[in-house]
């Protein structure tokens, strides 16, 4: 038995190893490497799986459910609050699941795997004069699976909003390993999904009931901060489109469980594929530098600067 691991974890790893094509590592060296991310936390994982394809992730999640061992999806590991360290099996998607599957230039969307790094994605989009809107400063290492799961954004959030505003659809694995395709559903389609057997139907029924209840909607309204740049907690506010929380209406207000997975930090489902909205690259970039005697003085004029409609204001 591996030191520091209980029998269930050893049985889990032994059961899983022959079922995956990717490397499954539980040596102390690998575990130590993956015990840190960009945060100040350090927690030793049980092991690390480098899935070769979504089937490996599915096998890991099915076995994890059987042995009741936590799993932790990871992309670039650039999270700042310990999101990718835990006593769990880490699923590192950055090694193999980092491909662009399709770019649709005419309709401005792309399908990608969760491990692709944002800068690499944008480099492939550049010849088409397209890019992914949100621009977290970690774009040279952060992967789209992590960016979506943290609902990240960057200095151009004034024009592009949050990552959740740019996620159209996703392929995920639920907590028992069931694959599901989360996409916008109209009323009839939602009812069909709610009638499904198994974990997927259960989730559609639970979320639709939860968010359909007036008392619950009141709780979501009361508990949601009134600013749009928010990424804490589950994204239930994105299911309420009556102007009481956000004053702008989303382009597509149909029921889409992808909204809930954005910002869920890997706790609700493991993403195996994303369909992302793309934006046109800016035609021109202009930089204005203003000097201020104090930090406070620079902050005080931000409202005035915003009236000039900049794409970013950096202090
Ligand atoms: C130098 C630096 C600058 C940064 N700048 C910004 C910034 O400008 N704006 C900003 O918003 N953030 C910023 N961040 C933090 C930012 O949130 C992360 O960089 C980025 O969102 C995470 O990407 P990642 O690939 O490293 O994800 P990871 O850290 O690997 O994972 C992030 C979360 O996503 C989950 N996850 C990963 N893959 C999957 C998957 N396939 N399925 C389900 N869940 C998954 C993980 O479990 C974790 O909870 C910065 C961080 C650093 C270190």
Residue range 76-89, pLDDT digits in tens? 999 999 999 999 99
Probe ligand 1: pick from 49, 136, 167, max atoms within 8 Å of CB?
136
The residue-averaged pLDDT of 91-118 equals 98
Nearest CA-CA partner of 160 in 254, 231, 214, 228: 228
The DSSP symbol for 244 reads: S
**Dihedral pair phi/psi, residue 54, rounded to 5°:** -60, -30
Tell me the chain's radius of gyration from C-alpha atoms.
Answer: 21
pLDDT value of position 3: 59
pLDDT at 127 over 90: yes
What would the pLDDT profile of 15-70 be if each residue is shown by its tens digit? 999 999 999 999 999 999 999 999 999 999 999 999 999 999 999 999 999 999 99
CB-based contacts of 178, cutoff 8 Å, min separation 6:
198, 199, 200
- Percent of all residues in the chain with a pLDDT value above 90, rounded to a whole number: 90
Both tokens of 292, joined, read: 């201020």
Q: Looking at residue 4, what is its pLDDT?
A: 57
The ligand 1 atom at the shortest distance from the C-alpha of residue 117 is 25
Q: What is the mean pLDDT of residues 175-199?
A: 97
Q: Which of 53, 118, 143, 149 to mutate to test the pocket of ligand 1 (most atoms within 8 A of CB)?
A: 149
CB 173 within 8 A of CB 272: yes
The pLDDT assigned to 138 comes to: 98
Which atom of ligand 1 has the smallest separation from the CA of 152? Answer: 11
What is the model's pLDDT at position 250?
74
Distance, CA 203 to ligand 1 centroid (Å)? 25
Q: Is the pLDDT of residue 248 over 80?
A: no
Ligand 1 pocket list (CB less than 6 A): 37-38, 72-80, 83-84, 93, 114, 136-138, 142-143, 145-147, 149-150, 152-154, 265-266, 270-271
> Both tokens of residue 138?
């970690």
Q: Three-class SS of residue 25?
A: strand
Average pLDDT, the chain: 95
* Mutate which of 146, 235, 262, 315 for ligand 1 pocket (most atoms within 8 A of beta carbon): 146
Instruction: At 150, list the tokens.
Output: 């943290």
> What residue's CA is closest to ligand 1, atom 36?
146
Ligand 1 centroid distance, CA of 190 (Å): 30
> Which amino acid residue places its CA nearest to atom 8 of ligand 1?
136
Distance from C-alpha of 238 to C-alpha of 23, rounded to nearest angstrom: 38
pLDDT given at position 2: 60
In 51-194 the beta strands, taken as DSSP E runs, fall at 71-74, 89-92, 100-104, 109-112, 130-131, 167-173, 179-182
Q: What is the mean pLDDT of residues 272-299?
A: 95
Ligand 1 mutation target, pool 91, 145, 164, 314, most atoms within 8 A of CB = 145
How far apart (Å, rounded) are the C-alpha atoms in residues 297 and 278? 36
The pTM (predicted TM-score) of the whole model is 0.96
Long-range contacts of 247-253, Cβ-Cβ distance < 8 Å, separation of 24 or more: 250/165, 252/184
pLDDT band at residue 287, thresholds of 50, 70 and 90?
A: very high
CA of 151 to the centre of ligand 1 (A): 8
Q: Does residue 307 have a pLDDT over 90?
A: yes
In this prediction, residues 264-270 reach a mean pLDDT of: 97
Average pLDDT over residues 199-227: 95
Give the chain's domains with CATH numbers: 7-92 (3.30.43.10), 100-280 (3.30.465.10)
**Candidate from 2-11, 212-221, 234-243 with smallest mean pLDDT:** 2-11
Sign of CA pseudo-dihedral 135, 141, 142, 143: positive
Name the band, by pLDDT with cuts 50, 70 and 90, for residue 1: low
């Amino acid at each position: 038995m591996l030191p520091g691991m209980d029998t269930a974890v050893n049985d889990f790893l032994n059961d899983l190893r022959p079922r995956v094509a990717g490397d499954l590592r539980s040596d102390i060296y690998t575990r130590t490497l993956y015990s840190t991310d960009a945060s100040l936390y350090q927690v030793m994982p049980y092991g690390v799986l480098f899935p070769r394809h979504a089937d490996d992730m599915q096998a890991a999640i099915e076995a994890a459910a059987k042995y009741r061992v936590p799993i932790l999806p990871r992309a670039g590991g650039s999270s700042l609050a310990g999101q990718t360290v835990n006593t769990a099996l880490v699923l590192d998607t950055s090694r193999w699941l980092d491909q662009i599957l399709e770019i649709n230039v005419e309709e401005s969307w792309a399908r990608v795997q969760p491990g692709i790094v944002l800068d690499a994605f944008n480099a492939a989009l550049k010849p088409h004069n397209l890019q992914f809107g949100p621009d977290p400063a970690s774009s040279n290492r952060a992967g789209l699976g992590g960016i979506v799961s943290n609902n990240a954004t960057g200095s151009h959030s004034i024009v592009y909003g949050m990552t959740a505003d740019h996620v159209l659809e996703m392929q995920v694995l639920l907590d028992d390993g069931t694959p599901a395709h989360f996409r916008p559903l109209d009323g009839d389609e939602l009812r069909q999904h709610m009638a499904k057997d198994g974990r997927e139907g259960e989730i559609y029924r639970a979320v639709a009931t939860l968010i359909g209840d007036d008392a619950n909607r009141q709780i979501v309204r009361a508990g949601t901060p009134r600013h749009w740049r928010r990424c804490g907690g589950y994204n239930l506010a994105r299911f309420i489109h009556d102007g009481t929380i956000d004053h702008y209406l989303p382009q597509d207000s149909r029921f889409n469980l992808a909204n809930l997975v954005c910002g869920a930090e890997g706790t609700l489902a493991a993403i195996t594929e994303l369909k992302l909205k793309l934006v046109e690259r800016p035609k021109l970039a202009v930089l204005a530098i203003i000097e201020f005697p104090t930090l406070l003085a620079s902050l005080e004029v931000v409202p005035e600067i915003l009236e000039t409609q900049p794409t970013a204001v950096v202090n």
